Amino acid sequence: MTDTSPRHILRVDASMRREGSHSRGLADRVVDRLTAQRPDTRVTVRDLADGSMRLVDETWIGANFTDPAQRSDDQKAALAFSDRLVAELRAADTIVITMPIYNFTIPASLKAWIDLVARARETFRYTEAGPEGLLTGKRAILVYVSGGVAAGSETDFATDYMKHVLKFIGITDVEIIDAGQLMFAEAEKLEAAHARIETLAA
C-alpha cells in the first residue's frame, strides 16, 4: 500500500550567513526536491541565525531536572523555548540540518540547539539497558559544507558527532549531502552535491 499521509519537514539552518551561504542554498534544493515529490509536505523552518537561540544556564538546568509535575511557573517559562524546539522535532518526520563547518566543527548555534533538544524524558530516556532515543521513525539529512575539511577525514569532528547525537535521541536514518573542501574544488564539489540531492527520495 502506498503511504499517502502528509509529510512534515523541519529545516534547521545553522549558517550565520544568509547571503551567499552554500549550506542554505543546498538546503533549498533538498527541500525543493522533497516537496516536489510530495506537494502536500509541510515545512517548518528554524533559523538559528535569527537571534532567538539561547544557551543552557543554571536556571534552565534546575528546571529541566525538576519533576514536570513540580515545576514552578518560572521554571516552566525557563523551558518554554526548549519545549517549542522539541515539539518541532516531534512533529517532523524529516529533519534537514545545515552543517557549515566553523573551525573544524559545527557552529555554536547548532550546539546550542542540540543542548536544548537533547532532554531526558523528552527525547531520550535511561533504561536498564542504557539510553534509549524516543524520536524514532524519523529521517535526517545533513548538509555538510566546509572550506577545507573533507567529510569523514581525520579532521572532520562534525559528522560523526551529529550522527551520534541524532542516534542518541532515536534518529538512525541519517544521510549526508557532502559539499566539503569548497576552497579547493568549489564547482566540482557543488555539482556532486547537487547530483546527490537529485537522488533523494521523499
DSSP 109-145: HHHHHHHHH--BTTTEEEETTEEEES-TT-EEEEEEE
According to DSSP, the residues that pair with 99 across neighbouring strands are: 144
3-state DSSP helix/strand/coil % of the chain, to nearest 5: 40, 20, 40
Grid coordinates given for 53? 537561540
* Cα separations in angstroms, 202 against 44, 47, 142: 16, 22, 15
Q: Which fold has domain 8-197?
A: Rossmann fold (3.40.50)
Asked if residue 21 belongs to a known ligand binding site, the reply is: yes
Please list the pLDDT of the chain residue by residue as tens digits (202 residues).
345 456 999 999 999 999 999 999 999 999 999 999 999 999 999 999 999 999 999 999 999 999 999 999 999 999 999 999 999 999 999 999 999 999 999 999 999 999 999 999 999 999 999 999 999 999 999 999 999 999 999 999 999 999 999 999 999 999 999 999 999 999 999 999 999 999 998 7
Tracing cell 532567538 back to the chain, one arrives at: 52
Instruction: Kindly give the residue spans of alpha helices, DSSP state H, lying in the chain.
Output: 22-37, 58-64, 73-91, 108-117, 159-168, 182-197
Q: Name the grid cell of 85.
A: 524546539
Which residues sit opposite 104 in a β-bridge? none
Contacts of 58 (CB under 8 A, 6+ apart): none
- Taking the domains of the chain in order of start, what are their residue ranges? 8-197
Q: Does the model's pTM come out above 0.75?
A: yes
22 is in an annotated binding site: yes
User: Residue 132 pairs with which residues in a beta bridge?
Assistant: 125
What is residue 167's predicted lDDT score, i.e. its pLDDT?
98
Cα diameter, the chain = 56
Annotated binding-site residue? 153: no
pLDDT confidence of residue 104:
94
d(CA 170, CA 196): 25
164 is in an annotated binding site: no
d(CA 159, CA 33): 23
